[in-house]
Structure 1
Amino acid sequence: MRQFCLVEEPELFPSLATPSFPQAPLARRLRPRTWDEVVGQDHLLGPGRPLRELWEKGAYQALVFFGPPGCGKTTFAELFATTSTGPVVRLDGAKVIASELRRAVGLAHRQCGLAQSPPLLVIDEIHRLHRDQQEILLAELERGIIRLVGATPVNPCFFLTPPLISRCQIFELEALSLEALGKILDRALADQERGVGKLGLCLDTEARKILLVACEGDARKLLNWVEILSRWVSERPGRLPKEIGREELEAIGVKKWVRYTRDGDEHYDTLSSWIKSIRGGDPDAAIYWLARMLKGGEDPRLLARRLVIAASEDVGLADPLALPLAVSAFHAIEAVGMPEASLALAEATLYLATAPKSNAAYRAIQGALDAWETKPSQEVPSWLRDAHFSGAKTLGRGTGYLYSHEFPEGVAPQSYGVTPGSFYQPTDRGYEKLIRERLDRWRELRGGAADPS
């Protein structure tokens, strides 16, 4: 049976008051009921920030909040809902079907003009709406028939259609800091009505740090662990120390889990940080981001492919050993598998991060490809064309070609159809410094080499 059923009248948003039933989760009981109770997200709620003003004046049409789990997305949506002067309809993007969405929009049409403000649709997991469902909202938002507040743990730019995004104000929430989590923990331990203050729980300094770090910026995870701890204490009166320590936390399974999804923002952001740390020559940052991806279960073959790309794009001929080392790391994954192959990935990461950098090879091929796209094609000169067939001389193929090994230092005074230095311009870093000096010498030997006539 479906858990959600849209009725003829709007389903009013659940009250933010403390639930009367005792089994309500601690995270639900402690959810902020006013903006003053919200902890963190100062970049959105601080003085002069736009979000608080939008709420106070009601000057919004469509808002979408996104960010990692437990950062306050649903809380923000609920606070906007409680101050709406019009009817509020709550939908779950993971469960709603198109007919229910049309029904909600139809209700908005009937209510239009009867309330002080348009009906508000609050859609959790809004990224789960498919394209047809999103299109149902477009015309109504454009006409001001409805208002919308959406919440999602993923970047909406990857899941919502461009027309819907253009009608929304998107706000990114951040994972909560240790300081913010600490305030939430203190509130949970002290509040005797909504929290667990009646138990008199107290964590020692080490346990407090372990718990806060393990949460990875997730307030819900923090409060869930506090709730488990409180129940455990309740079942063992007089058998636990006055202060909760490391052993008690380990007993209830407190452990840091990496906040990482292989198809979400964490994947792209961490991968980007890793590559940019390698490019920037920071081995410590590079190895840290690599460790995070490995702990998150990232595909090691993808990481190895990125190392091969970085070796060619960012190191290039400044260190010619970079590319074969990166390729060797890729083969190591196939040969020994994980987790042992993580050592090869670490070795290659550190090597590339500490190698001299040059993107001259990257710029050379990009410049050459661009030349083919934007400039007239350069024909192969007759003296460079293949002459290994019968009748080649009759056609003038190969006539005038100079054999390089017959000249001092193996360099013939000859043009090869492209002006030297047009694309490849080696740097003075690492091995490329020798290449640059070598090319300068060869240009001297060629002198003003003319095309054979």
Structure 2
Amino acid sequence: MTSRFQPLADRMRPETLEDYSGQTHLLGEGRPLRAAINQDRLHSMLFWGPPGTGKTTLARLIANYSGAAFQTLSAVLSGVKDIRIAVERAQQQFEINKRASVLFVDEVHRFNKAQQDAFLPHIEDGTFVFIGATTENPSFELNNALMSRVRTYILRPLEVEDITAVLLRAIKDEEHGLGKLSLQVSDNVIEKLANAADGDARRALNWLEIAADLAEPAEDGSGTVISESVIAELAKESGNRFDKKGDLFYEQISALHKSVRGSNPDGALYWFCRMIDGGCDPHYVARRILRMASEEVGNADPRSLGVALDAWQTYERLGSPEGELALAQAVLYLAVAPKSNAAYKAYNQAKVDASMSGSLDVPMHLRNAPTQMMSKMGFGDGYRYAHNEDDAYAAGETYLPEQLEGRQYYEPVARGLEIKIKDKLAALRALDEAAKNKSPR
């Protein structure tokens, strides 16, 4: 039964797998989930995917195909008490027809660990078949005990063709859709709407319903027309999928970082724009750009650090949107600069030694002797002042604790300025070797 206040997206939920759009990797002929549904082999499962990809609809279809009673909980609104009530209902249903109910839990990642644990015994004893839905990475958001009892299925954003099919069905359907309105919608308008929905069928149907309200009478009086300008206005505020501090956030910053590392300015600029367009704080991006200058470019082009810092300061002065151009300029510079992670590797290796080697003493010749007593104790004995040596280099001198003597953390690469740094270090190390062979310490 439908209500005139029921959203179009809800009215248009498919009632058969044949009408279900997308997710062919799960529901195509011969796929395990499709076979399990056709053969009525229900099992507890988790649907992980972005909004509007059909998680709730698929759960309902599974229950319908199996003839199981269907219950739904929203983790946003429910607590342990609601879980207890759902369990009691499922137990009553089992006593009546000896079949497990389907309990669908939307936004399951919002339940805390104790609430998630409340499902476990009832999944184990078959009181209900658990179907959870989440937009967040379950590896981070769900506890291991629950994850081990469900099979995880990944739902993908819908393709433009899938959303187009959903829209056409809604336009023509007279019982549940907009068929009675005699809407006239061009192929171009449908394509624009499907593209702007960004893989989200619910978003597409919501926009279609609004557009239908804004449609104008056709000139020949045969119905109403949805214009391109209406769709353009609706899609203007849509924005790309981007969840601050969620999976997409980290996926996109990873893509930006790896594009810079891979010296691909086009990819780097695209992911930078995607993050800004999605609402990411430019200050966060600026901080990551500064990090990339050290981690990915390093001393192959030391100017990159200054470029990144200048871009950040420019953004601080100009704000959005003008300052974002400076950040984009820095992204491009880093992408095309010669690359070296030698400083990054050297720092990490030295950090490990500093942490694991204990409180090693500073060698006596490297200690200052500001008092007469310290001087008598040998502080500073044997230290060679580099500026008094040939080429201002004390060949053979050591600067590490005795236990770490010979360690080499920094190994420049043969790219950019580090070519010269590499050559210089090789020459200095040759002088050290010659000095040690001549008069070992």
What TM-score results when the alignment is normalised by the length of structure 2? 0.89
Partner Cα distance (2:216, 2:137) in 1: 41
Question: 1:389 deviation in Å?
Answer: 3.0
Say which of 359, 362, 385 aligns to 2:341: 359
Q: Does 1:443 align with 2:429?
A: yes
Change beyond 3 A, Cα 1:48–1:435: farther
- Does the 8 Å CA contact 2:242/2:249 hold for their aligned counterparts? yes
Greater helix share, structure number: 2
Q: Show the 5 A alignment for 1:247-258.
A: 247-250=229-232, 256-258=238-240
Q: Show the 5 A alignment for 1:152-191.
A: 152-191=134-173
Change beyond 3 A, Cα 1:345–1:105: same
Partner Cα distance (1:246, 1:119) in 2: 46
Name whichever of 344-353 and 44-53 sits farther off.
Answer: 44-53
Q: Does 1:196 align with 2:178?
A: yes
Change beyond 3 A, Cα 1:40–1:114: same
Give the secondary structure class of the aligned counterpart of 1:94.
Answer: coil
Residue identity matched to 2:118? I
Residue 281 (structure 2) aligns with: 299
Residue 420 (structure 2) aligns with: 434
Question: 1:179 deviation in Å?
Answer: 2.0
Q: Deviations over 1:113-163 (max 9, x none)?
A: 543432221112222323332221122223333221112333333332232
Q: Deviations over 1:305-363 (max 9, x none)?
A: 11111111111111101112222222233333222221121111111111111111111
Q: Show the 5 A alignment for 1:75-114.
A: 75-112=57-94, 114=96
Residue identity matched to 1:105? V
Q: Show the 5 A alignment for 1:203-214.
A: 203-214=185-196
- Does the 8 Å CA contact 1:316/1:358 hold for their aligned counterparts? yes
Q: Does 1:224 align with 2:228?
A: no
Change beyond 3 A, Cα 1:106–1:211: closer
- Count of residue pairs the alignment pairs up: 435
Give the secondary structure class of the aligned counterpart of 2:52.
Answer: coil
Change beyond 3 A, Cα 1:172–1:238: same
Give the secondary structure class of the aligned counterpart of 1:150.
Answer: strand
- Does the 8 Å CA contact 1:120/1:148 hold for their aligned counterparts? yes
Name whichever of 114-123 and 311-320 sits farther off.
Answer: 114-123
Partner Cα distance (2:113, 2:100) in 1: 24
Give the secondary structure class of the aligned counterpart of 1:91.
Answer: strand
Q: Deviations over 1:27-84 (max 9, x none)?
A: 2232211112121112222344322233234444421212222111111111122134
Partner Cα distance (1:384, 1:333) in 2: 44
Partner Cα distance (1:107, 1:341) in 2: 58
Residue 149 (structure 1) aligns with: 131
Q: Show the 5 A alignment for 1:280-299.
A: 280-299=262-281
Partner Cα distance (1:70, 1:331) in 2: 40
Residue 244 (structure 2) aligns with: 262
Residue 399 (structure 2) aligns with: 416
Question: 1:241 deviation in Å?
Answer: 9.9
Change beyond 3 A, Cα 1:389–1:168: farther
- Does the 8 Å CA contact 2:43/2:150 hold for their aligned counterparts? yes
- Does the 8 Å CA contact 2:216/2:225 hold for their aligned counterparts? no
Residue identity matched to 2:283? R
Residue 277 (structure 1) aligns with: 259
What TM-score results when the alignment is normalised by the length of structure 1? 0.87
Name whichever of 46-55 and 194-203 sits farther off.
Answer: 194-203
- Does the 8 Å CA contact 2:100/2:126 hold for their aligned counterparts? yes
- Does the 8 Å CA contact 1:318/1:357 hold for their aligned counterparts? yes
Partner Cα distance (1:312, 1:420) in 2: 25
Query: Which segments of structure 1 move beyond 6 Å, counting only runs of 4 or more?
Result: 234-237, 239-243
Q: Does 1:68 align with 2:50?
A: yes
Partner Cα distance (2:165, 2:292) in 1: 42
Partner Cα distance (2:200, 2:145) in 1: 32
Change beyond 3 A, Cα 1:93–1:70: same
Q: Does 1:233 align with 2:215?
A: yes
Residue 13 (structure 2) aligns with: 31
Give the secondary structure class of the aligned counterpart of 1:341.
Answer: helix
Residue 9 (structure 1) aligns with: none
Q: Percent identity?
A: 38
Change beyond 3 A, Cα 1:160–1:244: same
Q: Deviations over 1:158-186 (max 9, x none)?
A: 33223222222222211112222222223
